[in-house]
Chains A and B, each alone.
Chain A
Amino acid sequence: MEEFYRKLADILEVPEVKPADVMGGFAEWDSLSILSVIAWLSSDYEIHLHASELWEISTAQNLQDLVVERRGQRR
Protein backbone atom coordinates (compact mmCIF):
# COMPACT_ATOMS: atom_id res chain seq x y z
CA MET A 1 0.00 0.00 0.00
CA GLU A 2 3.08 2.24 -0.11
CA GLU A 3 2.26 2.81 -3.77
CA PHE A 4 -1.24 3.97 -2.78
CA TYR A 5 0.09 6.73 -0.51
CA ARG A 6 2.79 7.72 -2.97
CA LYS A 7 0.19 8.20 -5.72
CA LEU A 8 -2.05 10.15 -3.36
CA ALA A 9 0.89 12.42 -2.50
CA ASP A 10 1.49 13.03 -6.22
CA ILE A 11 -2.11 14.10 -6.71
CA LEU A 12 -2.02 16.38 -3.66
CA GLU A 13 1.37 17.77 -4.73
CA VAL A 14 2.99 17.08 -1.34
CA PRO A 15 6.16 15.07 -0.54
CA GLU A 16 4.35 12.49 1.57
CA VAL A 17 0.90 11.37 2.75
CA LYS A 18 0.54 9.33 5.95
CA PRO A 19 -2.50 7.21 6.82
CA ALA A 20 -3.53 9.47 9.71
CA ASP A 21 -3.38 12.66 7.61
CA VAL A 22 -6.70 14.48 7.38
CA MET A 23 -7.64 15.00 3.73
CA GLY A 24 -9.26 18.36 4.42
CA GLY A 25 -5.94 19.52 5.84
CA PHE A 26 -4.30 19.42 2.42
CA ALA A 27 -4.55 22.72 0.54
CA GLU A 28 -4.99 20.85 -2.74
CA TRP A 29 -7.81 18.57 -1.59
CA ASP A 30 -10.30 20.25 -3.93
CA SER A 31 -12.58 19.34 -6.83
CA LEU A 32 -9.64 18.96 -9.18
CA SER A 33 -7.78 16.52 -6.89
CA ILE A 34 -11.02 14.67 -6.30
CA LEU A 35 -11.47 14.16 -10.03
CA SER A 36 -7.86 12.97 -10.26
CA VAL A 37 -8.52 10.48 -7.46
CA ILE A 38 -11.69 9.25 -9.18
CA ALA A 39 -9.77 8.72 -12.44
CA TRP A 40 -6.87 7.03 -10.67
CA LEU A 41 -9.06 4.61 -8.69
CA SER A 42 -11.12 3.92 -11.79
CA SER A 43 -8.13 2.94 -13.92
CA ASP A 44 -5.92 1.26 -11.28
CA TYR A 45 -8.53 -0.37 -9.03
CA GLU A 46 -11.65 -0.60 -11.23
CA ILE A 47 -13.75 1.19 -8.63
CA HIS A 48 -15.92 4.12 -9.52
CA LEU A 49 -16.53 6.63 -6.76
CA HIS A 50 -18.77 9.67 -6.84
CA ALA A 51 -17.26 13.01 -5.82
CA SER A 52 -19.74 13.26 -2.92
CA GLU A 53 -18.28 10.06 -1.39
CA LEU A 54 -14.79 11.50 -1.52
CA TRP A 55 -15.80 14.81 0.06
CA GLU A 56 -16.95 12.78 3.08
CA ILE A 57 -13.61 11.01 3.51
CA SER A 58 -11.83 12.09 6.68
CA THR A 59 -8.31 10.62 6.64
CA ALA A 60 -6.09 9.03 4.02
CA GLN A 61 -6.56 5.74 5.89
CA ASN A 62 -10.35 6.09 5.41
CA LEU A 63 -9.82 6.42 1.69
CA GLN A 64 -7.68 3.31 1.61
CA ASP A 65 -10.33 1.46 3.65
CA LEU A 66 -13.03 2.54 1.19
CA VAL A 67 -10.95 1.24 -1.72
CA VAL A 68 -10.42 -2.10 0.01
CA GLU A 69 -14.13 -2.34 0.87
CA ARG A 70 -15.25 -1.58 -2.69
CA ARG A 71 -12.79 -4.01 -4.18
CA GLY A 72 -14.11 -6.64 -1.76
CA GLN A 73 -17.68 -5.98 -2.91
CA ARG A 74 -16.66 -6.55 -6.50
CA ARG A 75 -15.28 -10.05 -5.82
Chain B
Amino acid sequence: MNFTFRNRKISGLLAIVPANERSFLEEMANFDFPPARSLKLKQVMGYDKHRLVDGPVCASDLACFGLEHLFQGGQLDRGDIDAMIVVTQSPDYFIPPTSTVIQGRLGLKHDMFCLDITQGCAGFLIGLFQAFLLLDQPSIGKVVLINVDVMSRKVSPKDRNSYPLIGDAAAITIVERSDDASPIYANLKMDGARGEALMIPAGGFRQPSSPETAVLESDGDNNFRALDHLRMDGSAVFNFVQIEVPPMIEDLLRTAGQSMDDVDYFLFHQPNRFMLQKLAERMNAPFEKMPSNIVEHYGNSSGVTVPMVIAHNLRERLLGGSINACLAGFGVGLTWASMLMPLGKFTFCDLVDFQ
Protein backbone atom coordinates (compact mmCIF):
# COMPACT_ATOMS: atom_id res chain seq x y z
CA MET B 1 0.00 0.00 0.00
CA ASN B 2 1.06 3.57 -0.64
CA PHE B 3 1.27 6.44 1.84
CA THR B 4 1.78 10.14 1.38
CA PHE B 5 2.79 12.49 4.16
CA ARG B 6 3.29 16.24 4.18
CA ASN B 7 4.81 18.77 6.58
CA ARG B 8 6.94 16.25 8.41
CA LYS B 9 10.68 16.22 9.01
CA ILE B 10 13.48 14.56 10.91
CA SER B 11 15.26 17.32 12.80
CA GLY B 12 18.06 15.36 14.45
CA LEU B 13 19.46 11.91 14.94
CA LEU B 14 21.75 10.21 17.44
CA ALA B 15 23.06 6.66 17.10
CA ILE B 16 24.38 4.75 20.11
CA VAL B 17 26.62 1.68 19.84
CA PRO B 18 28.19 -0.40 22.62
CA ALA B 19 31.89 0.43 23.10
CA ASN B 20 32.62 -3.31 23.15
CA GLU B 21 33.99 -4.23 19.71
CA ARG B 22 34.58 -7.80 18.52
CA SER B 23 36.17 -9.00 15.32
CA PHE B 24 35.36 -11.80 12.92
CA LEU B 25 38.97 -12.99 13.02
CA GLU B 26 38.74 -13.58 16.79
CA GLU B 27 35.39 -15.30 16.55
CA MET B 28 35.84 -17.59 13.56
CA ALA B 29 37.36 -20.29 15.78
CA ASN B 30 33.83 -20.78 17.18
CA PHE B 31 32.54 -21.82 13.76
CA ASP B 32 32.77 -25.42 12.57
CA PHE B 33 34.00 -24.32 9.14
CA PRO B 34 37.49 -24.50 7.53
CA PRO B 35 39.46 -21.31 8.35
CA ALA B 36 40.16 -20.62 4.67
CA ARG B 37 36.43 -20.73 3.94
CA SER B 38 35.68 -18.52 6.93
CA LEU B 39 38.09 -15.96 5.51
CA LYS B 40 36.32 -16.19 2.17
CA LEU B 41 32.99 -15.72 3.98
CA LYS B 42 34.42 -12.59 5.64
CA GLN B 43 35.54 -11.19 2.29
CA VAL B 44 32.33 -11.94 0.38
CA MET B 45 29.90 -10.78 3.05
CA GLY B 46 31.92 -7.85 4.28
CA TYR B 47 32.18 -9.10 7.86
CA ASP B 48 34.86 -7.56 10.05
CA LYS B 49 34.15 -5.69 13.27
CA HIS B 50 30.89 -5.58 15.17
CA ARG B 51 29.65 -3.93 18.34
CA LEU B 52 28.00 -6.11 20.96
CA VAL B 53 26.75 -5.39 24.44
CA ASP B 54 29.01 -6.78 27.12
CA GLY B 55 26.87 -8.45 29.77
CA PRO B 56 23.14 -8.09 30.48
CA VAL B 57 22.68 -4.68 28.87
CA CYS B 58 19.08 -4.01 27.85
CA ALA B 59 17.31 -1.91 25.25
CA SER B 60 16.33 0.75 27.79
CA ASP B 61 19.97 1.07 28.94
CA LEU B 62 21.12 2.09 25.45
CA ALA B 63 18.08 4.34 24.97
CA CYS B 64 18.40 6.12 28.34
CA PHE B 65 22.12 6.64 27.76
CA GLY B 66 21.36 8.29 24.42
CA LEU B 67 18.54 10.46 25.73
CA GLU B 68 20.65 11.63 28.70
CA HIS B 69 23.39 12.48 26.21
CA LEU B 70 20.95 14.69 24.28
CA PHE B 71 19.55 16.32 27.44
CA GLN B 72 23.05 17.13 28.68
CA GLY B 73 24.15 18.44 25.30
CA GLY B 74 21.11 20.70 25.04
CA GLN B 75 19.96 19.01 21.81
CA LEU B 76 16.71 17.86 23.35
CA ASP B 77 14.64 19.26 26.20
CA ARG B 78 13.08 16.50 28.32
CA GLY B 79 9.87 18.50 28.66
CA ASP B 80 9.43 18.69 24.88
CA ILE B 81 8.89 14.96 24.34
CA ASP B 82 5.18 14.53 23.64
CA ALA B 83 5.43 11.01 22.26
CA MET B 84 8.00 8.24 22.40
CA ILE B 85 7.90 5.30 20.01
CA VAL B 86 10.21 2.41 20.82
CA VAL B 87 10.74 -0.08 18.01
CA THR B 88 12.45 -3.19 19.34
CA GLN B 89 12.45 -6.98 19.22
CA SER B 90 14.42 -7.19 22.44
CA PRO B 91 12.22 -5.50 25.06
CA ASP B 92 13.42 -5.32 28.68
CA TYR B 93 10.25 -7.21 29.75
CA PHE B 94 7.07 -8.65 28.26
CA ILE B 95 5.26 -6.28 30.63
CA PRO B 96 5.50 -3.28 30.91
CA PRO B 97 6.41 -1.76 27.54
CA THR B 98 10.01 -0.61 27.11
CA SER B 99 8.79 2.88 26.14
CA THR B 100 7.21 3.38 29.57
CA VAL B 101 10.28 1.83 31.25
CA ILE B 102 12.38 4.53 29.58
CA GLN B 103 9.84 7.24 30.43
CA GLY B 104 9.89 6.17 34.09
CA ARG B 105 13.66 5.86 34.34
CA LEU B 106 14.13 9.37 32.97
CA GLY B 107 11.27 10.91 34.95
CA LEU B 108 9.57 12.26 31.84
CA LYS B 109 6.20 14.03 31.98
CA HIS B 110 2.95 12.08 32.23
CA ASP B 111 1.31 14.08 29.45
CA MET B 112 2.93 11.82 26.91
CA PHE B 113 2.14 8.99 24.47
CA CYS B 114 4.45 5.95 24.90
CA LEU B 115 4.20 3.20 22.30
CA ASP B 116 6.17 -0.02 21.69
CA ILE B 117 6.28 -1.56 18.24
CA THR B 118 7.67 -5.03 17.59
CA GLN B 119 9.44 -4.74 14.26
CA GLY B 120 12.80 -5.67 12.83
CA CYS B 121 14.69 -4.67 9.72
CA ALA B 122 11.95 -2.32 8.48
CA GLY B 123 11.58 -0.81 11.96
CA PHE B 124 12.94 2.62 11.13
CA LEU B 125 10.35 3.14 8.40
CA ILE B 126 7.50 1.68 10.44
CA GLY B 127 8.49 3.96 13.32
CA LEU B 128 8.60 7.01 11.05
CA PHE B 129 5.14 6.23 9.63
CA GLN B 130 3.73 6.12 13.17
CA ALA B 131 5.58 9.27 14.21
CA PHE B 132 4.22 11.13 11.18
CA LEU B 133 0.67 10.04 12.05
CA LEU B 134 0.97 11.06 15.71
CA LEU B 135 1.95 14.55 14.58
CA ASP B 136 -1.57 14.97 13.17
CA GLN B 137 -2.57 15.76 16.76
CA PRO B 138 -2.03 19.39 17.79
CA SER B 139 -1.06 18.24 21.29
CA ILE B 140 1.94 16.39 19.88
CA GLY B 141 4.72 18.67 18.67
CA LYS B 142 7.74 16.42 19.01
CA VAL B 143 8.02 12.66 18.65
CA VAL B 144 11.09 10.77 19.79
CA LEU B 145 11.52 7.63 17.72
CA ILE B 146 13.81 5.08 19.38
CA ASN B 147 15.02 2.10 17.39
CA VAL B 148 16.94 -0.29 19.59
CA ASP B 149 17.98 -3.92 19.61
CA VAL B 150 20.38 -6.06 21.62
CA MET B 151 19.90 -9.16 19.50
CA SER B 152 23.44 -10.46 20.11
CA ARG B 153 22.00 -11.85 23.33
CA LYS B 154 19.74 -14.10 21.25
CA VAL B 155 22.24 -15.32 18.65
CA SER B 156 24.38 -18.42 19.02
CA PRO B 157 28.14 -17.73 18.80
CA LYS B 158 28.41 -21.07 16.98
CA ASP B 159 26.06 -19.99 14.18
CA ARG B 160 28.11 -18.48 11.35
CA ASN B 161 24.84 -17.73 9.54
CA SER B 162 23.94 -15.02 12.04
CA TYR B 163 26.60 -14.33 14.64
CA PRO B 164 29.26 -12.61 12.49
CA LEU B 165 26.78 -10.07 11.16
CA ILE B 166 24.81 -9.23 14.29
CA GLY B 167 25.31 -5.90 16.01
CA ASP B 168 23.65 -4.13 18.93
CA ALA B 169 22.70 -0.47 18.67
CA ALA B 170 20.12 2.21 19.34
CA ALA B 171 19.10 5.34 17.50
CA ILE B 172 17.11 8.33 18.65
CA THR B 173 15.40 10.25 15.87
CA ILE B 174 13.53 13.50 16.48
CA VAL B 175 10.46 13.84 14.29
CA GLU B 176 8.55 17.12 14.02
CA ARG B 177 6.21 19.12 11.80
CA SER B 178 7.84 21.12 9.02
CA ASP B 179 6.78 24.04 6.82
CA ASP B 180 7.56 22.03 3.70
CA ALA B 181 4.27 20.77 2.24
CA SER B 182 5.86 18.84 -0.63
CA PRO B 183 4.87 15.17 -0.44
CA ILE B 184 6.87 12.44 1.25
CA TYR B 185 6.08 9.22 -0.62
CA ALA B 186 6.14 5.81 1.03
CA ASN B 187 4.98 2.26 0.52
CA LEU B 188 4.72 -0.87 2.61
CA LYS B 189 4.01 -4.57 2.20
CA MET B 190 3.88 -7.43 4.67
CA ASP B 191 3.72 -11.21 4.34
CA GLY B 192 3.29 -13.12 7.57
CA ALA B 193 3.11 -16.42 5.69
CA ARG B 194 6.87 -16.23 5.21
CA GLY B 195 7.54 -15.09 8.77
CA GLU B 196 9.52 -18.16 9.80
CA ALA B 197 12.44 -17.06 7.63
CA LEU B 198 13.53 -14.84 10.55
CA MET B 199 12.40 -16.14 13.89
CA ILE B 200 13.22 -16.89 17.51
CA PRO B 201 11.11 -20.03 18.03
CA ALA B 202 11.16 -20.21 21.83
CA GLY B 203 10.81 -17.75 24.67
CA GLY B 204 7.29 -16.49 24.00
CA PHE B 205 3.98 -17.91 25.16
CA ARG B 206 3.81 -20.46 22.30
CA GLN B 207 6.98 -22.22 23.39
CA PRO B 208 8.32 -20.90 26.70
CA SER B 209 12.07 -21.14 27.32
CA SER B 210 13.10 -24.29 29.16
CA PRO B 211 16.27 -26.37 29.57
CA GLU B 212 15.24 -28.18 26.34
CA THR B 213 14.95 -24.98 24.30
CA ALA B 214 18.47 -24.01 25.39
CA VAL B 215 20.09 -27.13 23.88
CA LEU B 216 22.30 -26.39 20.87
CA GLU B 217 21.47 -28.40 17.78
CA SER B 218 22.95 -28.46 14.27
CA ASP B 219 21.07 -27.00 11.33
CA GLY B 220 22.60 -29.77 9.18
CA ASP B 221 25.40 -27.48 8.04
CA ASN B 222 27.49 -27.32 11.21
CA ASN B 223 25.77 -24.25 12.57
CA PHE B 224 24.76 -24.86 16.16
CA ARG B 225 21.89 -22.94 17.70
CA ALA B 226 19.05 -23.55 20.17
CA LEU B 227 15.33 -22.87 19.91
CA ASP B 228 16.01 -19.84 22.14
CA HIS B 229 18.22 -18.36 19.42
CA LEU B 230 17.52 -16.27 16.35
CA ARG B 231 17.19 -18.45 13.26
CA MET B 232 17.69 -16.99 9.86
CA ASP B 233 16.92 -18.88 6.68
CA GLY B 234 19.66 -17.18 4.67
CA SER B 235 18.63 -18.25 1.18
CA ALA B 236 14.94 -17.51 1.79
CA VAL B 237 15.83 -14.02 3.02
CA PHE B 238 18.21 -13.47 0.11
CA ASN B 239 15.56 -14.44 -2.44
CA PHE B 240 12.90 -12.36 -0.67
CA VAL B 241 15.07 -9.25 -0.87
CA GLN B 242 16.08 -9.77 -4.51
CA ILE B 243 12.49 -10.44 -5.62
CA GLU B 244 10.49 -7.92 -3.58
CA VAL B 245 12.69 -4.88 -3.03
CA PRO B 246 13.50 -3.75 -6.62
CA PRO B 247 9.83 -3.53 -7.72
CA MET B 248 8.97 -1.74 -4.46
CA ILE B 249 11.54 0.95 -5.22
CA GLU B 250 10.37 1.18 -8.85
CA ASP B 251 6.79 1.70 -7.63
CA LEU B 252 7.91 4.33 -5.16
CA LEU B 253 9.83 6.31 -7.78
CA ARG B 254 7.01 5.99 -10.31
CA THR B 255 4.46 7.26 -7.78
CA ALA B 256 6.73 10.16 -6.95
CA GLY B 257 7.44 10.91 -10.61
CA GLN B 258 11.15 10.62 -9.96
CA SER B 259 14.00 8.59 -11.40
CA MET B 260 17.06 6.87 -9.91
CA ASP B 261 19.06 9.94 -10.94
CA ASP B 262 16.92 12.19 -8.75
CA VAL B 263 17.89 10.19 -5.66
CA ASP B 264 21.05 11.34 -3.89
CA TYR B 265 21.36 8.30 -1.66
CA PHE B 266 19.72 4.92 -1.22
CA LEU B 267 19.82 4.52 2.55
CA PHE B 268 18.83 0.92 2.97
CA HIS B 269 18.75 -1.60 5.77
CA GLN B 270 22.16 -3.29 6.08
CA PRO B 271 21.87 -7.09 6.02
CA ASN B 272 25.41 -7.55 4.67
CA ARG B 273 27.48 -6.07 1.85
CA PHE B 274 26.91 -9.03 -0.48
CA MET B 275 23.12 -8.73 -0.37
CA LEU B 276 23.24 -4.96 -0.91
CA GLN B 277 25.61 -5.34 -3.85
CA LYS B 278 23.31 -7.85 -5.52
CA LEU B 279 20.33 -5.63 -4.77
CA ALA B 280 21.99 -2.57 -6.32
CA GLU B 281 22.83 -4.61 -9.44
CA ARG B 282 19.26 -5.80 -9.78
CA MET B 283 17.88 -2.28 -9.29
CA ASN B 284 20.42 -0.79 -11.71
CA ALA B 285 21.28 1.65 -8.95
CA PRO B 286 24.83 3.01 -8.71
CA PHE B 287 26.43 1.19 -5.78
CA GLU B 288 28.24 4.37 -4.71
CA LYS B 289 24.82 5.88 -3.93
CA MET B 290 24.05 2.96 -1.60
CA PRO B 291 26.35 3.06 1.44
CA SER B 292 26.94 -0.53 2.56
CA ASN B 293 29.59 -0.20 5.26
CA ILE B 294 27.59 -0.66 8.47
CA VAL B 295 27.96 -4.43 8.89
CA GLU B 296 31.75 -4.27 8.58
CA HIS B 297 32.09 -1.50 11.18
CA TYR B 298 29.26 -2.17 13.64
CA GLY B 299 27.19 -5.19 12.58
CA ASN B 300 23.57 -5.48 11.49
CA SER B 301 21.40 -4.02 14.25
CA SER B 302 18.08 -4.75 12.54
CA GLY B 303 15.83 -1.66 12.65
CA VAL B 304 18.71 0.57 13.72
CA THR B 305 20.77 0.15 10.55
CA VAL B 306 19.19 2.96 8.51
CA PRO B 307 19.93 5.61 11.17
CA MET B 308 23.40 4.02 11.50
CA VAL B 309 24.02 4.47 7.76
CA ILE B 310 22.98 8.10 8.09
CA ALA B 311 25.05 8.85 11.21
CA HIS B 312 28.17 7.03 9.96
CA ASN B 313 28.22 8.33 6.40
CA LEU B 314 26.29 11.57 6.08
CA ARG B 315 26.86 13.60 9.24
CA GLU B 316 28.57 16.63 7.64
CA ARG B 317 26.28 16.56 4.63
CA LEU B 318 23.11 16.61 6.72
CA LEU B 319 24.34 19.22 9.19
CA GLY B 320 25.16 21.45 6.22
CA GLY B 321 22.16 20.93 3.97
CA SER B 322 19.64 18.50 2.64
CA ILE B 323 19.54 15.47 0.35
CA ASN B 324 16.84 13.58 -1.51
CA ALA B 325 16.94 10.19 0.21
CA CYS B 326 15.35 6.89 -0.65
CA LEU B 327 15.03 4.87 2.57
CA ALA B 328 14.17 1.18 2.67
CA GLY B 329 13.87 -1.58 5.24
CA PHE B 330 13.16 -5.26 4.60
CA GLY B 331 13.18 -8.38 6.73
CA VAL B 332 11.43 -9.65 9.85
CA GLY B 333 7.71 -10.19 9.37
CA LEU B 334 8.28 -10.43 6.51
CA THR B 335 8.00 -6.68 6.03
CA TRP B 336 9.29 -4.42 3.29
CA ALA B 337 8.88 -0.67 3.16
CA SER B 338 10.41 2.31 1.41
CA MET B 339 10.17 6.07 1.54
CA LEU B 340 11.34 9.00 -0.53
CA MET B 341 11.94 12.11 1.56
CA PRO B 342 14.24 15.08 1.95
CA LEU B 343 16.70 14.60 4.82
CA GLY B 344 18.42 17.58 6.47
CA LYS B 345 19.20 20.08 7.50
CA PHE B 346 19.64 18.35 10.88
CA THR B 347 20.33 20.20 14.11
CA PHE B 348 22.46 17.26 15.25
CA CYS B 349 23.69 13.98 13.77
CA ASP B 350 26.04 12.01 15.99
CA LEU B 351 27.22 8.54 16.86
CA VAL B 352 28.34 7.86 20.43
CA ASP B 353 29.73 4.89 22.32
CA PHE B 354 27.73 3.37 25.17
CA GLN B 355 30.05 2.74 28.10
Contacts and interface: CB of A to CB of B under 8 A. Distances in A.
Interface of A: 28, 30-32, 34-36, 38-39, 42-43, 48-52, 55
A52 B221 CA distance: 11
B41 interface: yes
A39 B37 contact: no
Interface of B: 33, 37, 40-41, 44, 161, 220-221, 234-236, 238-239, 242-243, 274, 278, 281-282
A30 B37 contact: yes
B44 A36 contact: yes
B67 to A, nearest CB: 40
Contacts of B243: 48
Contacts of B242: 42-43, 48
A43 B278 contact: yes
Nearest to B242: A42
21 contacts: A30-B33, A31-B221, A31-B234, A32-B40, A32-B44, A34-B235, A35-B234, A35-B238, A35-B274, A36-B44, A38-B235, A42-B238, A42-B239, A43-B278, A43-B281, A43-B282, A48-B242, A49-B239, A50-B239, A51-B235, A55-B220
Contacts of A43: 242, 278, 281-282
- 10 shortest interchain CB distances as A-B pairs: A51-B235, A48-B239, A50-B235, A31-B221, A42-B242, A38-B235, A32-B41, A39-B278, A32-B37, A32-B40
Nearest to A39: B278
A36 B239 CA distance: 12
Contacts of A35: 234-235, 238, 274
B342 to A, nearest CB: 32
Contacts of B44: 32, 36
A32 B274 CA distance: 12
B79 to A, nearest CB: 51
A35 B282 CA distance: 16
Interface of A is mostly: helix
A42 B236 contact: no
Nearest to B282: A43
Contacts of A51: 234-235
B37 A49 contact: no
Contact of B238 (A28, A32, A38): A38
A39 B277 CA distance: 11
A35 B44 CA distance: 10
Contacts of A50: 235-236, 239
Contacts of A48: 239, 242-243
Nearest to B281: A43
A42 B37 CA distance: 23
A52 B239 CA distance: 13
B122 to A, nearest CB: 21
A38 B221 contact: no
A10 to B, nearest CB: 13
Given A30-B37, A35-B274, A49-B235, 20 more contacts: A30-B221, A31-B161, A31-B234, A32-B37, A32-B40, A35-B234, A35-B238, A36-B44, A38-B235, A39-B238, A39-B274, A39-B278, A42-B238, A42-B239, A43-B242, A48-B243, A49-B239, A50-B236, A50-B239, A52-B235
